[in-house]
Amino acid sequence: MAEKATVGELRRRKILELLKQAEAPLTGKEIGELTGVSRQVVVGDINLLKAVDEPIVATSRGYLYMMPAGAPGLTERIAVCRHGAGQTKEELTIFVDCGVTVKDVRVEHPVYGDLTASIMVSNRMEVKDFLEKVEASNAVYLSALSEDSTHLHTVSAEDPAQIDRAFSALRKAGILIE
């Protein structure tokens, strides 16, 4: 005898469908409105979905369903960068202007080890929104937590040449470490 799905299981399936079909990040509030629950319930559902290895990423703009690393048609690389906070806009703009998506930022913290945060920016408007949220919250960039501002970005693009162009521009700007 097959077991019936619970209301929560059905809702989580609906959340997965919404995220998979979304062309832009969905906020917890938006998902809640679409599924008839509160944002807090959505946060709990997202955590349960992550616990069963669903590739959902929380960004500053909402939740995204991520294609697995190495997905067909995408090239992914790691960029090692170093710069002060004043060059963050320049760094991110170089990436997106070359057609590259900046997926995350990772630093090595002297106490906690590797710390990673999602960024998920792929155009100038997303860069602007990200920078405004950092400023509005008085947050520090994750790179400030490393000993010398060195940080890594996972980046992706449809064509490896796009990443090569971005790396070249970052090298000229004195941001890329090799």
| Pair (53, 83) in one structural domain | no
Decide if 1 is inside a domain: no
Task: Give the Cβ contact number of residue 172 at 10 Å.
Answer: 10
Decide if 178 is inside a domain: no
Of 21, 40, 65, which residue constitutes the final position of a domain?
65
Q: Give strand ranges (E) for the chain.
A: 56-59, 62-65, 75-82, 101-109, 113-121, 150-157
| Pair (82, 115) in one structural domain | yes
**Size of the chain, expressed as the number of residues it contains:** 178
Per residue in 140-176, pLDDT (tens digit) is: 887 878 777 889 999 999 999 999 999 999 999 999 9
Query: Looking at the whole model, is its pTM more than 0.85?
Result: no
Decide if 54 is inside a domain: yes
| Domain extent at residue 86 | 75-172
Q: What is the CATH number of the domain that holds 127?
A: 3.30.1340.20
